[in-house]
Structure 1
Amino acid sequence: MPASAAVAAAGGEEKAAEAGGRELLYCGTVRFDIMGRKVKGGHEGRGNLVSPTRLRPLVGVDIRFVASGCAACHCVALSADGRCFSWGRNENGQLGHGDTLLRNLPTVVSELSKYNIIAAGVGRKHTVVVTDEGKSFAFGDNKYGQLGTGSLKTGTVVSPVPCLVTEVTNAVCGADFTVWLSSVEGSSILTAGLPQYGQLGHGSNNEYNAKVSSVSLVYDPQPHPRAIAALSGNTVVKVACGTNHTVAADSSGFVYTWGFGGYGRLGHNEQKDEWQPRLVKIFQKNNILGPNDIISAGSASSACTAGGRGQLYMWGKVKNSGDEWMYPKPVMDLRFLANCEIP
């Protein structure tokens, strides 16, 4: 989620209720201009919604999906009829409205109105969406090629542009990189953007010395979406991105992680970076992920449900103090809920 913000789709009222739809509730900051920044005068706490609140432009709108992120200061909501709404910080055009004006309330991305948008992901300063026809569009910061357009010429893209991927089923964003899922055989997962910690999964961080006379390390960006070769024999069906790491699950229910390894967020009982997907050993045999299980990634942690009973596992930095969890552990406070039968 964005810093100090939370969004959720809930049972709505008025038109949404009449249609059996869901309405968006929002809590947290609405001051996107100062979110995560030091402000003179100590006014950081002003403009906060302290309880779930309806946002006026979305009252009565059947919301089916909300995209936010641990590094993002903007949000995207998708309606049942395929419209794409965005709001928040917009200094890099990450809202897709053709400008860089901040918007505190959800606004329809008009240039996507002719498409039925079914999925979306948001990064630190960029957004990627997916249509029901398998096309993908992106907008926002493109410094590291995270828009997947094959070009670095435009640092900021304020309107949707097509990504170089086909038959897309989902798109998820890390801070400065993007992951696409595709139905193309042998290329079920593709990545583009910043490779600094190996989060693109291609076996390298693309590091090189920019100056011969001194140590000045830079990381060669990847603007062309590229299939992860290590997973070419797998069908990846679920993916989640933290700031600089990725978690994915394949059709067999196995979980893989790669990227930045600090605080044990990759779940391998060590903190080294992984430059290509590595199997998380605990999620095998009788503890694989089923069709209804979920995966998630935060800025310094990861989580998933597994084992067919909804038991939640977490790893990485899961609390403000104390030791990090270097490998997946069941959250025992939720063990009763995991064993409940839901009628």
Structure 2
Amino acid sequence: MSAVEAEKKHAEEEGKGGGELLFCGATCWDIVGRKKGAQEGNLVAPTRLRPLVGVDIRFVASGAASCHCVALDVDGRCYTWGRNEKGQLGHGDRIQRDRPTIVSDLSKYKIVKAGAGRSHTVVVTDDGQSLAFGWNKHGQLGSGSVRNEVESSPVRCLVSDVRTTACGADFTVWLSSVEGSSILTAGLPQYGQLGHGTDNEV
């Protein structure tokens, strides 16, 4: 049994059910992180998001540096919402979305894990592929190219047998089953966070 198959079996043993997503915090995406003391639009108590009522959510990704959110349901659909000036929502445009919206370009995949950076998103499929979208100025999408600084639709990452992923502000980490277990990184090593022995280099 491959590591990917073992991971899938483990996920099935944990149960196929998800849960209801409750959200609290900032929702006025235009001012998040931009205006001190802005309170307008903040949800100060856990709140149901109308588009996700009745949807069983299995996984949620966001982060301290990101102003967008990713939610995955039990059927592998990927919902994104929030700021989108760098295409980090994956809908092929740069239109902000205030409501969770299914990423239609991922509909042929079953998405099981996700990570959210400052302006990029990385997802993992049930068969170990990884796709990414958003800002790619530092190569954080792992596509092997920084020619297009913005990828507003999902592109394939140059990693395989991926088990999970996580994003920092401008970098990405993947855990792969290649050769037992491998940690792969891409993006901005501003403080050496990629672990490649470099600093302030891409």
2:44 is aligned with 1:53: no
What residue in structure 2 maps to residue 119 of structure 1?
A: 113
- Report the Cα distance in structure 2 between the residues aligned to 1:198 and 1:157, rounded to whole angstroms: 25
- Report the Cα distance in structure 1 between the residues aligned to 2:154 and 2:30, rounded to whole angstroms: 23
Question: Which amino acid in structure 2 is aligned with residue 117 of structure 1?
Answer: I
Match 1:23 to one of 20, 23, 40: 20
2:71 is aligned with 1:77: yes
- Report the Cα distance in structure 1 between the residues aligned to 2:26 and 2:149, rounded to whole angstroms: 28
2:31 is aligned with 1:37: no
Matched position secondary structure for 2:145: coil
What residue in structure 2 maps to residue 316 of structure 1?
A: none
- Report the Cα distance in structure 1 between the residues aligned to 2:162 and 2:18, rounded to whole angstroms: 26
Superposed displacement of residue 49, structure 1: 1.1
What residue in structure 1 maps to residue 190 of structure 2?
A: 196
Question: Which amino acid in structure 2 is aligned with residue 24 of structure 1?
Answer: L
Mapping 1:32-181, distance limit 5 Å: 32-38=29-35, 44-181=38-175
Superposed displacement of residue 48, structure 1: 1.2
Structure 2 unaligned residues grouped into runs of 5+: 1-15
Superposed displacement of residue 20, structure 1: 5.8
Question: Which amino acid in structure 2 is aligned with residue 76 of structure 1?
Answer: V
Looking at secondary structure, tell me which structure has more strand per residue. 1
2:201 is aligned with 1:220: yes
Aligned-residue Cα RMSD (Å) equals 1.4
CA separation of 1:21 and 1:152: change in aligned 2, threshold 3 A: closer
Mapping 1:294-305, distance limit 5 Å: none
- Report the Cα distance in structure 2 between the residues aligned to 1:168 and 1:194, rounded to whole angstroms: 21
- Report the Cα distance in structure 2 between the residues aligned to 1:36 and 1:61, rounded to whole angstroms: 29
TM-score for both structures, normalised by structure 2: 0.89
Name which of structure 1's ranges 186-195 and 52-61 shifts more when overlaid on structure 2. Answer: 186-195
TM-score for both structures, normalised by structure 1: 0.53
- Give the total of aligned pairs: 187
- Report the Cα distance in structure 2 between the residues aligned to 1:26 and 1:195, rounded to whole angstroms: 32
| Contact 2:18/2:73, CA 8 A, preserved across alignment | no
Pair member with larger Rg? 1
Question: Which amino acid in structure 2 is aligned with residue 137 of structure 1?
Answer: L
Superposed displacement of residue 220, structure 1: 2.8
Matched position secondary structure for 1:57: helix
Structure 1 unaligned residues grouped into runs of 5+: 1-18, 206-218, 222-343
Superposed displacement of residue 197, structure 1: 0.7
Superposed displacement of residue 187, structure 1: 5.4
Question: Which amino acid in structure 1 is aligned with residue 22 of structure 2?
Answer: L
CA separation of 1:20 and 1:69: change in aligned 2, threshold 3 A: closer
Identity %: 70
- Report the Cα distance in structure 1 between the residues aligned to 2:63 and 2:69, rounded to whole angstroms: 8
| Contact 2:17/2:74, CA 8 A, preserved across alignment | no
What residue in structure 1 maps to residue 3 of structure 2?
A: none
Superposed displacement of residue 107, structure 1: 0.3
